[in-house]
A and B are shown apart, each in its own frame.
Chain A
Amino acid sequence: MAVVEKLGGDGAGAQFVPCWSCKGPVAARALFCHTCGAVQAPGAVDHFTRMGLAPGFDVDDALLEKQYLGFQRVLHPDRFAAKPARERAIAQSQSVALNEAYEVLGDPLKRGIYLLRLRGVNSAAADDKTVSDPALLMQAMEQREALAEAESVDAVENLMIAVGAQAIQLLSDISRAFADDDLDSANRFVLRLKYARKFLEEARLKRAALES
């Protein structure tokens, strides 16, 4: 497919490709062709761009939801039920791309990992790689032990409150690290957030078991 970089333009996004339907030029990022109106395939853009948001760790949840619903309103396959199969399939891939972006941007942990990846850092939190943060491992072990010893709903909830507070603190730590462009710290905090989340999940299960 012919992709033409506009010379002297502002770089990213200033490209156009032939519309699959009318074959005329259409901006690589456009959702619809301005000539024939056909929905366009989701371009290879990052999740922030897709949602029309500025890239960064701080995302306004209400705004994210508004953007998500606004785009789904025009791109969801239900809007194309009477169109040819090919257009329906393209709408579906647009809708899939929106759901993926919404999932990643809507969750601070996934968002942090994603933002690191955009900056070229493959976070240890992204998969189950071995972790080399002795302080984190030590803390995680202590918390696990405390959870194992907790014998009442109250005791479990007290632990949840403590770790929950840590998780909230981590969100602002991550935010600051990204703002300072301190990717090493951001990476470390993101990994801690992952551990805190995991702990909270286990604690929830234990609480449910104790309750029943």
Chain B
Amino acid sequence: MLLQIHEPGETPEPHALERGQAIGIDLGTTNSVVAMVSGSHPEVLRDAGGDGLVPSVVAYAYDEPLVGRMALAELARHPDLVISSVKRLMGRGAEDIKKLAGALPYEIAADAAAGGMVRLKVGDRVLSPVEISADILRALKARAEASLGHAVEKAVITVPAYFDDAARNATKDAARLAGLEVLRLVNEPTAAALAYGLDSASEGIYAVYDLGGGTFDISLLKLQKGVFQVLATGGDAQLGGDDFDHALAEWAMKRTGINGLTSGEAKILLQAARAAKERLTTAPGAELKAVVAGHEIRQSIDRGTFEILIEPLLGRTLRACRQVLADARLSATDVKGVVLVGGSTRVPLVRAIVADFFKQEPLAGIDPDEVVAVGAALQANALTRGSDTLLLDVIPLSLGIETMGGIVEKVIERNTPIPVTKAQDFTTYQDGQTGMLIHAVQGERETVDACRSLGRFELTGIPPMVAGAARIRVTYAVDADGLLTVSAEERTTGAKAEIAVKPSYGLSDDEMADMLRDSLTYAREDMEKRLLLESRVEAERVLLALRAALNADGKLLSEAERAEIDRVAHAVRERIAGEDRAQIHAAMEALDRATHDFAQKRMDIAIQMALKGQRLDEVEAGMATDGAR
């Protein structure tokens, strides 16, 4: 087989490193969309009727969950078995849910009160939002597979920019349950900008105002030469069209004097409110009709009244807009274009206030429901096939650590570009203290209570010292998905202490393992398969590197030495073709030993050349500065 050497940093054409085609998924509160790039164009995958939106609704009325329109159709018959807007619960604890206003269309499982991620009681099942989201993702994956005619295993999934760490992790877990490897979590407004930016090679500062069903994001991006650089992002992970529906439903309940709805009845009323709301986008008046609790609700509403109801909610979005401009040290007039995203931006009053705030007519060239998925597909394509565009994103909310007295010390400020790593030193406050509780929180407020708890990490094994003598370095690392990893180390003794992670609102590793076991489609073999794949990729890398080294310095070897290396390399190639991960590793280790002397010779030659004053490093020094163009 012919091996190719790639340009530095270039993503190779899929052959030896083939990792399959990847799809882009907008996992929305109300609607989800799956798209992919075929040829060079992004395409939304539609049903037979041409509909690209899959309602994010799951019905658990039968053995197999139903997703989308079919699930919606079950609402009238089985209101208590149909779950919608589950995205609002991602990464949330039972306590958080109680804080959400209005009649909740969910039944919270009793045992969830103990803490950890909230669970819903759906008929006789108890389900976490992660499992329900996984069912939606499975349906989207199936749609893509049906359209492609083969299996799909990789995806870029979008999340609200304002999603916190717990919600991001929950999304990634859901994908894993659905048998999808997440190549990257991309922020929804960033994905939308990507979809727009590629269309109209525009440069300058753009604002993306994304008001969907359950979340609001506002992002400011600087576009230049294919780089999409997020300058600041803000929003509200609990604000969207759902809240308009709640406002309308509460208005109707007040007018009719009905209260104390069951969660099933609340769902039906909210559905009716939503229909009325959507009619008001094009009509001056609408009627809200529903039968709940044995009463018939019939209320006419005009657009003006509706606008009064939602005005305070829109005020909250403008406050976030002001904040991001301040964070980016920009004013509204610096913004060259405003992109509207999300179904709720169809509401005329939303368009009007955005136009008024930014003093310009917003862009709405691409369907606001589909633009995020299109961006996700473009990014999926860029990650698997290479691209000239680059997304540089930020963290939406500051990451901090609890200090004495429940005060938060910020470790990474909001709007810091990712990936990022920051460390901070702490000390012990008691003589002989051997442990320390590290509590990671996210949010802008100064007290722990007012921030979200992400997880507690117990650092143990600190050698006993007098108070204040230990130097404990806590490191926060945020990757390009916006996910946090915390580590801690005692520095004076160099003892690296163990940390145990207890995510506050996530799934524990055990829970995840149980769910993977339970899930019918993907089980342990899947995990094993993935590890095998990763080993193969690594082994290919080793062979490519060896080939490059032999091309450059093969002349340093005698024929016998060369033959021996070729023989061992061949053995690696054979193992790659096999199915045994352990054997691949053993063969790679053998190759490492077989090439040890060769590597040593190459280094020795370099030293000799250096002694002769030859500028061996010139080539690379040149490459180092070529990086910036």
Contacts and interface: CB of A to CB of B under 8 A. Distances in A.
Interface of A: 2, 4, 6-9, 13-16, 18-19, 21-39, 51-52, 66-87, 92-93, 95-96, 99-100, 102-103, 204
B391 interface: yes
Interface pairs A-B: 6 shortest CB-CB: A70-B628, A30-B620, A23-B599, A32-B8, A25-B606, A27-B617
B617 A14 contact: yes
B628 A66 contact: yes
A8 B11 CA distance: 39
B71 interface: no
A70 B548 CA distance: 26
Contact of B183 (A14, A74, A81): A81
Nearest to B413: A103
Contacts of A29: 617, 620-621, 624
Given A30-B623, A95-B480, A99-B417, A52 B628 contact: yes
Given A74-B9, A92-B480, A24 B599 contact: yes
26 contacts: A9-B610, A13-B617, A21-B542, A23-B603, A27-B620, A29-B617, A32-B623, A34-B619, A34-B623, A35-B548, A35-B549, A35-B552, A67-B628, A69-B390, A73-B627, A74-B627, A76-B480, A78-B382, A78-B480, A79-B11, A79-B386, A81-B383, A82-B12, A82-B384, A96-B419, A99-B416
B427 interface: no
B418 A99 contact: yes
Contacts of B534: 84-85
Given A87-B541, A100-B420, A80 B621 contact: no
B64 interface: no
A5 B215 CA distance: 56
A99 B412 CA distance: 13
B616 interface: yes
Nearest to A13: B621
A100 B607 CA distance: 33
Nearest to B481: A77
A97 to B, nearest CB: 9
B435 interface: no
Given A22-B546, A27-B620, 4 more contacts: A14-B617, A27-B617, A27-B619, A83-B541
A28 B617 CA distance: 8
B95 interface: no
Contact of A83 (B17, B546, B606): B17
B625 interface: yes
A18 B383 CA distance: 29
B613 interface: yes
A8 B624 contact: no
A31 to B, nearest CB: 5
Interface in B417-475: 417-421
A92 B479 contact: yes
A24 B8 contact: no
A62 to B, nearest CB: 11
Contacts of B623: 30-32, 34
Contacts of A2: 603
B525 interface: no
B184 interface: yes
B560 interface: no
Nearest to A38: B545
Contact of A24 (B419, B603, B629): B603
B610 A36 contact: no
A69 B617 contact: no
Contacts of A35: 548-549, 552-553
A29 B621 CA distance: 7
B606 A73 contact: no
B14 interface: yes
B602 A23 contact: yes
B419 A99 contact: yes
Nearest to B420: A99
A6 B548 CA distance: 24
A73 to B, nearest CB: 6
B549 A23 contact: yes
B336 to A, nearest CB: 17
Interface string B1-39: 000011111111010010100000000000000000000
B538 interface: yes
Given A23-B599, A23-B602, A73-B390, A80 B624 contact: no
Most B Cβ at <10 Å: residue of A27, A39, A70, A78: A78
Interface in B525-541: 534, 537-538, 540-541
A84 B538 CA distance: 5
B628 to A, nearest CB: 3
Nearest to B541: A84
B8 A6 contact: no
Contact of B9 (A23, A32, A100, A204): A32
Contact of B603 (A18, A31, A71, A99): A18
B224 interface: yes
A100 to B, nearest CB: 7
Most A Cβ at <10 Å: residue of B8, B541, B610: B8
A83 B534 CA distance: 9
A109 to B, nearest CB: 14
Most B Cβ at <10 Å: residue of A25, A28, A87: A25
A13 B624 CA distance: 11
B238 interface: no
B101 interface: no
Nearest to A74: B9
Contacts of A37: 5-8, 548
B593 to A, nearest CB: 12
A67 B624 CA distance: 11
A131 B603 CA distance: 51
Contacts of B542: 21
B544 interface: yes
